[in-house]
Amino acid sequence: MTIKEKGYSHWDGEFIVKKFPWWPITRYGIKLTFMRKLFKFTLPMSLLPAVFFLTGIYISERLEDFPFLRGETSQFLQINPNYFKVYFTQGFMLFIMLMIVIFCGASLISDDLKHNSLQLYFSRPLKKKDYFLGKTAVIVFFLFIITLIPGLVFFIMKLVFSGSLKFFISYPWLPLSIIGYSFIVTGFFSFYALLLSSLSKNRRLVAILIFGIYMLSDIIYLIFRSEFRSHYFSLVSLRANLQQVGAHIFGQKTPYDIPWIFSFLVLLGICVFAGFVLKSKVKGVEVVK
């Protein structure tokens, strides 16, 4: 009777490389975010500014039907690049983005660290870049709902309500500004959230860090500004840097008397630093083919 040696049997099949291996990660992250009770209330509320600004665009083309709005209010109803800049860079809107990021981004990596799931991810034919892309796409999905999509809808509906292409002819670069700033603010918040999510296994602690660091940077700026009267301390504030870059992209006067490129470099530096930290913190196993 033949006795075979018991040992490891190599698999002779082929790896099936999927076109979008990161998509299941994104899909699960989106599903998990929608399962949070408070988020079901937060997301609709975050769309209220978009509804308000869209209503303003409609009224601006029908001022004769709203005589009580003529006067000082009509200045706000002047639809131009500044109107779009106000929507994207107002402090309240950036705060809404922060809250959305807390709901969808705080647990993205921290939960994987808590449950030791990273080796399960990378024991499959999944590259590290696909893992990060899948996690980032969750944040991108939700932030685009309140940035890129409303911005483009504003522009299109302005053309529809006016019934002409005059607005497009006057500002042909505006759609690029909308797309560009949406990518910048979304990219920054994505790196920011993933960086902090990789530092702790506690999702609640990560949420506190995301909120606390953002607010603390603003408080520190306000303290130093009141003491030294220098706009350069705005580089400490995450909010101020996002507003400074946004104002330049939309062709408006920057709110702080410093070169906008400094604010852009600060945001870029944070993203680069986050990339290095994520690369070192998130480690898996090598798949032998």
In a domain? residue 9: no
Pick the range with the lowest mean pLDDT from 14-18, 70-74, 231-235, 248-252: 70-74
In a domain, 13, yes or no: no
175 lies in some domain: yes
Domain membership flag for residue 67: yes
156: in domain: yes
Residue 211: give the domain boundaries. Answer: 23-281
CA dihedral sign of residues 84, 34, 114, 128: negative
Helices vs. strands in the chain: H and E counts, helices first: 15, 0
pTM of the model: 0.88
Q: Is the pLDDT of residue 34 over 60?
A: yes
Dihedral of alpha carbons 283, 196, 89, 158, sign: positive
Per-residue pLDDT of 179-227, as tens digits, reads: 999 999 999 999 999 999 999 999 999 999 999 999 999 999 999 988 8
Q: Is the distance from CB of 151 to CB of 178 less than 8 angstroms?
A: yes
Does the residue 16 lie in any domain?
Answer: no
Q: Is residue 4 part of a domain?
A: no
Q: What does the H/E/C string look like for 163-230?
A: CCCHHHHHCCCHHHHHHHHHHHHHHHHHHHHHHHHCCCCCHHHHHHHHHHHHHHHHHHHHHHHHHHCC
Q: What pLDDT, on the 0 to 100 scale, is given for residue 16?
A: 62
18-32, 81-95, 117-131, 191-205: which range is least confident on average?
A: 117-131
Q: What length does the chain have?
A: 289
Q: How many domains does the chain have?
A: 1
* 5 occurs within a structural domain: no
- Burial track 54-79 (b if 16+ CB lie within 10 A, e otherwise): bebbebbbeeeeeeebeeeeeeebeb
